[in-house]
Amino acid sequence: MKLKTLIDSIEYLEIKNGDEKTLESVEISSVEFHSKKVKKRTLFVAIKGYRVDGHDFIKDAVASGAVAAIVEDFVEEDILQIKVKNSRIALAKVASIFFGEPSKKLKVTGITASNGKTSTAFMTKCIYDKAGYNTGISGTVYTKYADVEIPSILTTPESKDLQYYFYDMVNKGIDHVIMEVSSSAGELARAYATDFDIVTFNNITPEHIVNHGSFERYYHVKSRLIRHAKDDCVAILNSDFELINDLRNNTKAQVVTYSLKNNLEDISIDNLDLSTGFGKFKFIVNRDIKLKGITIKKQSFDVELKVAGYSSVMNAIVAITIGLVNGIDLDTILAGIQDFTGVERRFEVIFDEGFKIVDDHFANKNNIEVTLDTLSKMDYKNLDILYAIRGSRGADLNEENAEVIASWYERLKPREFIVTLSKDTVTWKDEVTDDELEAFKRVMSKHNIKFVLEDNLKEAVEKVIDGTKDDDLVLFAGCQGMDKAMGIAYDHIIERNLTKYPSKLLEKAKNRVC
């Protein structure tokens, strides 16, 4: 492909070591942002990252065969350089053009939220699969389509990788794609130049602020998915969040609104039952919803989930709405929802023999609030909580999380409250700092809440399991610090002969997605 064809898709400021005629004569065989992947006739895009600057690797790219570089700052290298204001946006645009704008050949559903993106995406995939779509999915767990499965490092892949996946999906016969769109994707233009057909904004809470500098910036980049949606796209918005509701007047997309608190929006629910932990509710379409090419009729129907937690109900509302927007018949949608049995660590019931263990990632105050509210509606004899303090996310976040836990403590009255630093399982980037531990202790002391502190996850898990009896409920609560708890628990349950089905536990651990 001619370099000029790619460069015509971006706004550039200056050219060094060449001119407009040079652009027309240079042939490009690949686009890369990683210098180690450069080969002959590569267009190298220099990206400024959090830790490394791609401009420092232009010399290596030249040595490997790069013939041109997109830069934000000119460097002293003998290579054609095209200067742009934002090289990440440029990368997304040229990658899309290089691969033939593949997202325009797919039906792409983009899902954003502070909580629940993964579960919503997998619920939607179950509905799409049941409808007979050839489906691809990209998110926190993996990018998977046809015979391809790539474990995820990023929730939303870098733009060049994402555009290649789209290109490969088209070649492999995929027609529908479901994407989790993270705030980092918005900040770093990873989903830029992607042609979305359906977008959703499910909820927003203060999350990943360290990556964005402020909540205002976090909301700004999060909301880009809705604000930049095209006029034939459908935006599904949770009106219970004022900031999300405001977007209905700040998008060209056709808007479908829902609420779990009232029946004034397009979609609502009634008769919610969480007594067993597994949600049952009535899904209500309050009026005919007229969209381009389809009308969703006013109707109501009962839904029964096979996954636990109030958060699963919230996610199901979005997934069902996505199905309706696609024109999928109701029986197929409900059959797809029945096929969904959960995503790991999202209010996941990991053991239910005599006593029950629920595993939840407990990421932020909203997630914690929803999880503990669900527990309060469940039937059990005694509650034991094992909580992993969230490491390297700041004292403020941990103090905020601790305050939510404290606000529910008297209502839930746990028999045992064990807290762990998970020193035996976390890597350096998730270690609990002294400030984070002190913030947690300060809140617990203020509310006169006693807890047992364990340095290691293994000892903490074994301690909480050893204290359980029939009809008790154990909550494993925490993000990265609790990731290994299920495996430790299963080993200990089998060792203590607390299960009649050890092979099932081993199989469940083996088949876990991550």
Q: Which helix (H) or strand (E) holds 245?
A: helix 242-245
Q: What's the whole-number mean pLDDT along residues 165-187?
A: 91
- pLDDT above 90 for 341: no
pLDDT of amino acid 345: 81
Q: Say if CB 268 and CB 286 are below 8 A apart.
A: yes
Instruction: Measure the CA–CA gap between 282 and 300, rounded to whole angstroms.
Output: 7
> What is the CA 262 to chain-centroid distance, rounded?
27
**Lowest-confidence pick of 5-19, 64-78, 169-183, 202-216:** 202-216
Q: Please list the residue range(s) of the chain that carry CATH number 3.40.1190.10.
A: 102-339
Architecture of domain 3-99: 3-Layer(aba) Sandwich (3.40)
**Lowest-confidence pick of 128-142, 147-161, 246-260:** 147-161
pLDDT of amino acid 429: 86
According to DSSP, residue 119 is labeled H
Between 127 and 152, the higher pLDDT residue: 127
Q: What is the pLDDT of residues 247-278, one digit of tens each?
A: 999 999 999 999 999 999 999 999 999 888 88
Q: What is the pLDDT of residues 73-113, one digit of tens each?
A: 999 999 999 999 999 999 999 999 999 999 999 999 999 99
Amino acid symbol at 194? T
Planar angle of CA 217, 221, 222, nearest 5 degrees = 110
> What is the CA 254 to chain-centroid distance, rounded?
24
Q: Say if CB 118 and CB 514 are below 8 A apart.
A: no
Q: pLDDT class for 210, splitting at 50, 70, 90?
A: low
Q: What single string gives the DSSP state of each residue in 155-170?
A: SS--HHHHHHHHHHHH
User: SS3 string of 246-265?
Assistant: HHHHCCCCEEEEECCCCCCC
- pLDDT above 50 for 513: no
- Placement of tokens 């070649």 in the chain: 171
Token pair, residue 154, equals: 């990023």
Q: What's the whole-number mean pLDDT along residues 444-457?
A: 98
Q: What's the whole-number mean pLDDT along residues 2-27?
A: 94
Q: What is the pLDDT of residues 453-512, one digit of tens each?
A: 999 999 999 999 999 999 999 999 999 999 999 999 999 999 999 998 888 888 877 665
**Strand locations in 176-323, DSSP E?**
176-180, 198-201, 234-238, 254-258, 267-273, 278-285, 289-291, 294-296, 299-308
pLDDT of amino acid 209: 59
Q: Alpha helices of 295-348 — where are they, by DSSP H?
A: 310-325, 330-339
Q: Give 119's contacts (C-beta < 8 A, 6+ positions apart).
A: 307, 311, 312, 315, 342, 343, 346
CATH fold of the domain at 348-511: Protein-Tyrosine Phosphatase; Chain A (3.90.190)
Q: Please list the residue range(s) of the chain that carry CATH number 3.90.190.20.
A: 348-511
pLDDT of amino acid 511: 64
Q: Within a 13 Å sphere around the CA of 295, how many CA atoms are in the beta-carbon half?
A: 6
Q: Give 446's contacts (C-beta < 8 A, 6+ positions apart).
A: 406
Q: What's the whole-number mean pLDDT along residues 299-328?
A: 94
Q: Say if CB 227 and CB 207 are below 8 A apart.
A: no
Residue 116, helix vs strand vs coil: coil
What's the whole-model pTM score? 0.76
Strand pairing of 473-477 and 42-45? unpaired
Q: Please list the residue range(s) of the chain that carry CATH number 3.40.1390.10.
A: 3-99
Q: Say if CB 17 and CB 78 are below 8 A apart.
A: yes
Q: What's the whole-number mean pLDDT along residues 411-432?
A: 95
The CATH number of 102-339, from 1.10.357.10, 3.40.1190.10, 3.40.50.150, 3.10.129.10, is 3.40.1190.10
Amino acid symbol at 315? N
Sheet with 107-112, edge to edge strand ranges: 148-151, 142-145, 135-138, 176-180, 107-112, 198-201, 234-238, 254-258, 267-273, 278-285, 299-308
Angle between helices 310-325 and 365-376 (to 10 degrees): 110
Q: What's the whole-number mean pLDDT along residues 195-203?
A: 97
